C-alpha cells in the first residue's frame, strides 16, 4: 500500500473507537499472540509448570530447522506459530503447525535479517521487516491484506544501523507503530486497511541525550494519570502519546543513549519503569493528571548504569519487584524493588554468559542467555534461588530471541532452528 499525501491532510478527521486491545482479550491460558506474551510484559499466566529442572533440562519434544536467520521470537495462537526469517536473501513471514513445527506457508516481505516478533489478532497477523516493511496478512493463507513502508511512506528513520525491530501494537481497531520520522515519530493506522488515523511528530525539545529516530523497543499501553496512552522508547528517550488523537503527553530524555535504546518499558498503574544499556541506567516515572487531558511525568528516581542497566533481554514486574539481567551485555540476574529502586538481591554471574532474555511463568523466571544456556530462577525477593539450568539443543549464534510459553511448552527460536520443550509438571 502506498500512503497518499491527501491522507495526512485528513488525519484529524479519522477517529475510530478504542476497544480492548489484542493483549487484553488474549490473556488466557495457552496463548502467546504478541511480543513478550499476551500483555507485552513477559508474563505467562499458565500454571502447573515444572518448578525444578533435571540436569538435562526439560524434555525436547521437537526441533525444526530451515527458518532462516534473524532474532525474531515466535507468537502462538489457534494452532499456529508465527515467526520471521531471512531465507535466500529475503525476509519471510512464516506460519508453522503448533503440533510439530511443520511449515504451513510463508510470505515474502522484503529483505534483511529480521528482529520483529509477529503479532496475531483474530484472522490477521502483522509483522515488520528490518527495512521497515509492515505487512498485514491472513493467518490461514499468508495472503497480504495491506502493507506500508516506513521509509517510503513516512520518511522513517532508525536511530542506528541495526534495522527496525519493534512489534506493532494492536489496540481495538488500531495498529500503533513507530516509523521514527521527524514529523511521524508514532502513527496509528486502521488495522483492517492501513489507512492513517493520526501521526505524532518528535518532541520539539527532546533533550541532549540519544539520537533521533526509532529505537528497538515496542509500544505498550498505560492508563497513567487517567489518560489512555501509548508509551514508547525511541532514540531520544521515553515518550507517551494520547490514544485518542496522538498528541504528545510527556517525554523523558535522561534514559536515552546514542547507540541503541532497546528494552520495552514496564507500565504499572501510574508508573513507568525504563532502562537502557551502554552504561546509561534506569528510571522510575510517576504519571500525574495535569489539566484537562494532559499528563505530567515525574522522575521518582534515576539509577546510574553501575547500579542498574538492562542492555537487552527485557524486564518483568512481579508483585512489586523487577527482575532482569543487569549489566551491559552481562545479564546478571537481579531483583529490584520498583518503587524504591533498591536492589534486593544480585545473583552474580548466573548460570550463563552474555545478555539474558527474561520472561516469567508460574513462580519462575526463565533466563535465556546469549551463550545458549537456559536458567530457571525463582521469582522471589527473599533470595537468589537457581532451580535448574541446561544447554539448548542448538546454538547457531547469539541466543537472543525471547522465550515463549504456550500450552505447557517452552518455545525457543535459534536463528533457523525452533526448539519446543515440554515444561508441564503433569
CA geometry: angle at 281 spanning 279 and 285, to 5°?
Answer: 165
Q: Contact, 183 vs 150, CB < 8 A?
A: no
Q: Mind spelling out the 3-state secondary structure of 172-228?
A: CCEEEECCCCCCCCEEEEECCCCCEEEEECCCCCCCCCCCCCECCCCCEEECHHHCC
Predicted confidence at residue 16, as pLDDT, reads: 31
For residue 354 the three cell numbers come to 552474555
pLDDT surpasses 80 at 321: yes
**Number of separate domains in the chain:** 1
pLDDT surpasses 60 at 12: no
Query: Is the model's pTM score more than 0.85?
Result: yes
Quick check: is 1 in a domain?
no
For residue 281 the three cell numbers come to 541506567
Which tens digit of pLDDT belongs to each residue from 79-129?
A: 999 999 999 989 999 999 999 999 999 999 989 999 999 999 999 999 999
Which tens digit of pLDDT belongs to each residue from 16-30?
A: 333 333 333 433 557
Local structure of residue 244 (DSSP, 8 states)? T
Predicted confidence at residue 249, as pLDDT, reads: 98
Predicted confidence at residue 52, as pLDDT, reads: 98
Quick check: is 10 in a domain?
no
Report d(CA 13, CA 48) in Å as an integer: 49
- Residue 11 sits at φ, ψ, to 5 deg, of -55, -45
Q: Contact, 96 vs 81, CB < 8 A?
A: yes
Report d(CA 267, CA 44) in Å as an integer: 16
Predicted confidence at residue 291, as pLDDT, reads: 87
Q: Contact, 399 vs 86, CB < 8 A?
A: no
Predicted confidence at residue 167, as pLDDT, reads: 98
Quick check: is 368 in a domain?
yes
Quick check: is 328 in a domain?
yes
Predicted confidence at residue 5, as pLDDT, reads: 35
Which tens digit of pLDDT belongs to each residue from 212-227?
A: 999 999 999 999 999 9
Predicted confidence at residue 340, as pLDDT, reads: 98
Predicted confidence at residue 89, as pLDDT, reads: 82
- The Cα-based distances of 415 to 57, 59, 64, 85 in angstroms read 21, 21, 11, 8
The average confidence (pLDDT) of the chain is 93
Predicted confidence at residue 23, as pLDDT, reads: 33
pLDDT surpasses 50 at 39: yes
Quick check: is 326 in a domain?
yes
Quick check: is 329 in a domain?
yes
Q: Contact, 34 vs 79, CB < 8 A?
A: no
Q: Contact, 249 vs 237, CB < 8 A?
A: no
Report d(CA 252, CA 107) in Å as an integer: 38
Quick check: is 351 in a domain?
yes
- Residue 351 sits at φ, ψ, to 5 deg, of -75, -20
List strands edge to edge, sheet with 271-276: 266-268, 271-276, 281-289, 295-304
Find, among 201, 180, 199, 181, the residue nearest to 189 by Cα: 199
Report d(CA 409, CA 372) in Å as an integer: 18
For residue 209 the three cell numbers come to 541525550
Q: Residues 6 or more apart from 400 whose CB is under 8 A from it?
A: 71, 312, 313, 355, 357, 370
Q: Contact, 63 vs 418, CB < 8 A?
A: yes
CATH number at residue 327: 2.130.10.10
- Domain membership of residue 187 as a residue range: 18-422
Which tens digit of pLDDT belongs to each residue from 45-91?
A: 999 999 999 999 999 999 999 999 999 999 999 999 999 999 998 99
Which tens digit of pLDDT belongs to each residue from 174-216?
A: 999 999 999 999 999 999 999 999 999 999 999 999 999 999 9
For residue 393 the three cell numbers come to 539443543
For 387, left (φ over 0), alpha (ψ -120 to 50), or beta? alpha
Quick check: is 152 in a domain?
yes
Q: Which residues share a beta bridge with 333?
A: 325
Amino acid at each position: 500500500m502506498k500512503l497518499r499525501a491527501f491522507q495526512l491532510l485528513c488525519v484529524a478527521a479519522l477517529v475510530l473507537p478504542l476497544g480492548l486491545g489484542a493483549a487484553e482479550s488474549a490473556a488466557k491460558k495457552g496463548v502467546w499472540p504478541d511480543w513478550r506474551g499476551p500483555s507485552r510484559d513477559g508474563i505467562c499466566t499458565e500454571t502447573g509448570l515444572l518448578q525444578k529442572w533435571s540436569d538435562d533440562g526439560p524434555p525436547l519434544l521437537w526441533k525444526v530447522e530451515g527458518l532462516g536467520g534473524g532474532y525474531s521470537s515466535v507468537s502462538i495462537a489457534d494452532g499456529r506459530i508465527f515467526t520471521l526469517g531471512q531465507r535466500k536473501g529475503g525476509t519471510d513471514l512464516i506460519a508453522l503447525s503448533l503440533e510439530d513445527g511443520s511449515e504451513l506457508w510463508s510470505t515474502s516481505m522484503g529483505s534483511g535479517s529480521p528482529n520483529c516478533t509477529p503479532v496475531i489478532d483474530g484472522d490477521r497477523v502483522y509483522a515488520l521487516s528490518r527495512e521497515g516493511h509492515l505487512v498485514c496478512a491472513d493467518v490461514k493463507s499468508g495472503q497480504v491484506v495491506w502493507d506500508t513502508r516506513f521509509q517510503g511512506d513516512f520518511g522513517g528513520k532508525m536511530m542506528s544501523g541495526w534495522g527496525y525491530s519493534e512489534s506493532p501494537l494492536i489496540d481495538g481497531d488500531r495498529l500503533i507503530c513507530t516509523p521514527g520520522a521527524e514529523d511521524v515519530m508514532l502513527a496509528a493506522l486502521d488495522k483492517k486497511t492501513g489507512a492513517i488515523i493520526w501521526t505524532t511528530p518528535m518532541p520539539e525539545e527532546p533533550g541532549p541525550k540519544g539520537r533521533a529516530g526509532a529505537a528497538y523497543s515496542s509500544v505498550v499501553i498505560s492508563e497513567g494519570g487517567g489518560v489512555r496512552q501509548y508509551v514508547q522508547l525511541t532514540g531520544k528517550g521515553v515518550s507517551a502519546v494520547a490514544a485518542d488523537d496522538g498528541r504528545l503527553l510527556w517525554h523523558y530524555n535522561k534514559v536515552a543513549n546514542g547507540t541503541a535504546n532497546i528494552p520495552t518499558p514496564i507500565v504499572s498503574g501510574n508508573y513507568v519503569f525504563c532502562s537502557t544499556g551502554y552504561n546509561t541506567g534506569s528510571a522510575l516515572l510517576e504519571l500525574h493528571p495535569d489539566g484537562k487531558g494532559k499528563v505530567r511525568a515525574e522522575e521518582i528516581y534515576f539509577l546510574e548504569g553501575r547500579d542498574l542497566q538492562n542492555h537487552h533481554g527485557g524486564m518483568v514486574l512481579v508483585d512489586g519487584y523487577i527482575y532482569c539481567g543487569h549489566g551491559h551485555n552481562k545479564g546478571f540476574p537481579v531483583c529490584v524493588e520498583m518503587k524504591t529502586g533498591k536492589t534486593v538481591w544480585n545473583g552474580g554471574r548466573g548460570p550463563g554468559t552474555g545478555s539474558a532474555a527474561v520472561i516469567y511463568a508460574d513462580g519462575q523466571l526463565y533466563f535465556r542467555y546469549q551463550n545458549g544456556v537456559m536458567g530457571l530462577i525463582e521469582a522471589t525477593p527473599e533470595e537468589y534461588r537457581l532451580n535448574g539450568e541446561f544447554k539448548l539443543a542448538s546454538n547457531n549464534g547469539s541466543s537472543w530471541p525471547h522465550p515463549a510459553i504456550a500450552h505447557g511448552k517452552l518455545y525457543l527460536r535459534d536463528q533457523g532452528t525452533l526448539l519446543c520443550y515440554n515444561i508441564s509438571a503433569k
